[in-house]
Amino acid sequence: MRPRTLILIFLAILLPTTVLAQRFFLREIMIIPVRPIDTDTFEVIENDGAGGTQMWCAAGKYVRDYQRQRGGSITVLTPRASSVAYPGRKSVMFTTKPVENSISSTSQGVRTAGQTFSTTHANALCRSRHDLYIKVRVLVP
């Protein structure tokens, strides 16, 4: 084989593994604290510059992984405001209980009480950015 052919074969093998390695190592991890209030209600506390999308993602992960619910919906009970558990920090109170006058929405904001997402939709927001991994840290009340 000619040296040029060997180089091309080597690059064809090496390039895909390099791209995968970069994607893995360049991933940002955001840890968002969640404090359970009761069996259906929990507070998601802003951390690391989290916005509405990340807050919904954390709520979805908490409901799926800690409350073990696969279906149903998540509703903003108290919109973004001062945290109950951590004064000086902002948080959003979510619930999985049915809420009167709830609003099904596609907006990823957390400033409207009654805004509702399905648990599946909230979890899908976790995959909206491939360079960001959101981890939920459950706080003991």
Q: Spell out the alpha helix ranges (H) of 26-115.
A: 52-65
Residue in the block written with tokens 């108290």: 78
> How far is the C-alpha of 75 from the C-alpha of 114, rounded, in Å?
6
> How far is the C-alpha of 108 from the C-alpha of 38, rounded, in Å?
24
Report how many domains make up the chain. Answer: 1
Residue 93 lies in a domain: yes
Residue 126 lies in a domain: yes
Residue 7 lies in a domain: no
Edge-first strand order for the sheet with 90-95 is: 103-104, 115-118, 73-82, 90-95, 41-45, 28-36, 132-138
What is the span of the domain harbouring residue 131? Answer: 29-138
pTM, two decimal places? 0.78
Residue 42 lies in a domain: yes
pLDDT of the residue at 33 = 94
> How far is the C-alpha of 60 from the C-alpha of 69, rounded, in Å?
9
Residue 41 lies in a domain: yes
Query: Is residue 4's pLDDT more than 80?
Result: no
pLDDT of the residue at 24 = 52
Q: What is the pLDDT of residues 75-133, one digit of tens each?
A: 999 999 999 888 899 999 999 999 888 888 778 889 899 999 999 999 999 887 777 88
Nearest partner of 62 among 39, 87, 85, 90, judged by Cα: 39
Tokens encoding 84 = 């109950």
Question: How distant, in Å, are the alpha carbons of 18, 27, 38, 110, 115 from that of 52?
Answer: 33, 20, 22, 5, 12
Counting beta carbons within 10 angstroms of the beta carbon of residue 62, is it exposed (0 to 12), middle (13 to 18) or buried (19 or more)? buried
Helix (H, G, I), strand (E, B) or coil at 27: coil
pLDDT of the residue at 3 = 74
Q: What is the pLDDT of residues 11-60, one digit of tens each?
A: 667 666 655 555 555 668 889 999 999 999 999 999 878 889 999 999 99
Residue 18 lies in a domain: no
